[in-house]
Amino acid sequence: MAGAVMAGAADDPLSRGHNFFTKGKYKEAAAAFEVGVAEGNAACMDYLGFLYLEGLGKKPSAWIAQGFFRKGAERGSDQACRNLGNMYFDGRGVQPDLVEAARWWEKSAKLGKDPRPLFSLGQLYLLEEGDPTYFADNTDLAREYWERARKLGSDDAVVALAALDLAEDKLGTRAEKAVKALADKGHTTAAGLVCFMDMEKAAPKTLIKDISFVFQAHNFCGVASSTMLLRHQGLNVSQYDVARKRFKHQWGQGSRWTELTWVAGKFEKDWKITSFPDTDEGFASGKKQVISLLEKGSPVIIDILEHDPKGSAHSILVCGHDPKSGQLLVRNPALPYPGFQAFSEQRWKETWRSIGFIPSNNRLLRPMMYAVDKSEESN
């Protein structure tokens, strides 16, 4: 979240703090940045805000963090402006306010040459989150912001523009080659978009193309994935609408799946949670059901857990399966638009797991959540 700084003299508070920061010595970094804050250094205000936000060398406090970001932003730090905009988008330390998020991202773009606030603005205008008066599906404006971000070196913007062109049937050879080159270099959403393009050409029954992507606010992977599923069911809702329906709602707080199925019920939708053992046999059974649902045109939410088995899992929406390669195609709400991510069958098998997705779950399982077809269920 914190931006890079240009180091000055070796005894400058900003340079000292940045040196400690890059070495992971956060308490020493905080002490140095505090000296810079006392001297009115806006970049030090930004960095100190980030340390408070993430609890690095300081007791975590989103409220204190947004105060430092605001001070830095008002004194001309483009990164503080970007971070303050992020906080308004996420609802961290402040109530979510997408108009304010856009205002601070605009200021960040004017003050600096970081492509990220421009990308965020394009994403905001395209994805129709929040007040439709301001953000009603303005594809032309999204394209304009992403073109500016691309010129500043954003690979994410290259992929997003290609996805826009593909959706409008305007994807040219040059753009396709650029995306494939990024995919070859390991760019996640580029590789996902290539997978989507290949599957679209092959047209398997297991590809669901019309998913309305949602980029998640902080810790809202389950909420954002649920929003995508609800939109697929025909509801015009934002992740903020979905979050507010929770019975234990708090901004920035994740949700157990039982709560999300309860929220779906509040929208008059019936969802089901199923899980399979974290074994080879469990994977085979779960894979069969995922493919069956995709063939019926039903996306599936799953949890993935990359490393620590006791860590926090991440919810994603499955939208395709390639029967030839075995690749799984998902919309990952933590990734930038278009949010595509491809999983080899082996990686899908290794990462599809979770603990605690429902209150009684205290062991690793392979969970999935999906909409129930009431007509089929009654037969």
Predicted local distance difference test score (pLDDT) of residue 379: 43
CA dihedral of 325, 330, 334, 335, whole degrees rounded to 10: 60
Mean pLDDT taken over the chain: 92
Q: Specify whether 61 is located in the same domain as 151.
A: no
Q: How far apart are CA 316 and CA 326, in angstroms?
A: 18
Predicted local distance difference test score (pLDDT) of residue 322: 97
The answer as to whether 143 is a domain residue is: yes
Largest Cα span, the chain: 76
Query: How many of the other CB atoms lie within 10 Å of CB of 173?
Result: 7
Q: Specify whether 106 is located in the same domain as 137.
A: no
pLDDT digits (tens, 9 = 90+) for 40-77: 999 999 999 999 999 999 999 999 999 999 999 999 99
More confident residue, 10 or 232: 232
The answer as to whether 322 is a domain residue is: yes
Instruction: Give pTM, 2 decimals.
Output: 0.93
Predicted local distance difference test score (pLDDT) of residue 93: 87
The answer as to whether 128 is a domain residue is: no
CATH code for position 309: 3.90.70.10
Q: Which domain holds residue 178?
A: 133-186
**How confident is the model over 130-140, as a mean pLDDT?**
63
The answer as to whether 191 is a domain residue is: no
Q: Specify whether 89 is located in the same domain as 137.
A: no
Question: E strands of the chain, at which residues?
Answer: 271-277, 300-304, 314-321, 328-331, 340-343, 365-371
**How confident is the model over 250-261, as a mean pLDDT?**
93
The answer as to whether 306 is a domain residue is: yes
Q: Specify whether 296 is located in the same domain as 372.
A: yes
pLDDT digits (tens, 9 = 90+) for 359-379: 988 899 999 999 997 655 544
Q: Specify whether 44 is located in the same domain as 169.
A: no
Predicted local distance difference test score (pLDDT) of residue 6: 46
Q: In the listed set 114, 144, 167, which residue is the last one of a domain according to the structure?
A: 114
The answer as to whether 203 is a domain residue is: no
Q: Specify whether 342 is located in the same domain as 249.
A: yes
The answer as to whether 280 is a domain residue is: yes
**How confident is the model over 157-169, as a mean pLDDT?**
95
pLDDT digits (tens, 9 = 90+) for 173-201: 999 999 999 999 999 999 999 999 999 99
Predicted local distance difference test score (pLDDT) of residue 312: 86
Predicted local distance difference test score (pLDDT) of residue 249: 87
Is residue 3 pLDDT above 80, yes or no? no
Q: In the listed set 84, 114, 144, which residue is the last one of a domain according to the structure?
A: 114
Is residue 4 pLDDT above 50, yes or no? no
Q: How far is CA 321 from CA 102, 213, 286, in A?
A: 36, 18, 13
CATH code for position 59: 1.25.40.10
Q: How far apart are CA 222 and CA 173, in angstroms?
A: 36
Q: Specify whether 298 is located in the same domain as 182.
A: no
Q: Specify whether 101 is located in the same domain as 160.
A: no
Q: Specify whether 182 is located in the same domain as 243.
A: no
Is residue 135 pLDDT above 80, yes or no? no
pLDDT digits (tens, 9 = 90+) for 307-362: 887 788 999 999 999 999 999 999 999 999 999 999 999 999 999 999 999 998 88
The answer as to whether 195 is a domain residue is: no
- CB distance 114 to 99 below 8 Å: no
pLDDT digits (tens, 9 = 90+) for 209-219: 999 999 999 99
Predicted local distance difference test score (pLDDT) of residue 373: 79
Query: How many of the other CB atoms lie within 10 Å of CB of 99?
Result: 13
Is residue 2 pLDDT above 70, yes or no? no
Q: In the listed set 50, 80, 114, which residue is the last one of a domain according to the structure?
A: 114
Closest CA to 259 of 216, 215, 234, 223: 223
Predicted local distance difference test score (pLDDT) of residue 131: 53
Predicted local distance difference test score (pLDDT) of residue 1: 53
Q: Specify whether 155 is located in the same domain as 274.
A: no
- CB distance 160 to 173 below 8 Å: no
Q: Specify whether 141 is located in the same domain as 110.
A: no
What is the number of domains present in the chain? 3
Q: Specify whether 239 is located in the same domain as 353.
A: yes
pLDDT digits (tens, 9 = 90+) for 259-318: 999 999 999 999 999 999 999 999 999 999 999 999 999 999 999 998 887 788 999 999
Predicted local distance difference test score (pLDDT) of residue 311: 80
CB-facing half-sphere around the CA of 333: CA atoms within 13 A: 29
CA dihedral of 229, 233, 237, 243, whole degrees rounded to 10: -40
**How confident is the model over 241-267, as a mean pLDDT?**
93
Closest CA to 130 of 176, 166, 91, 93: 91
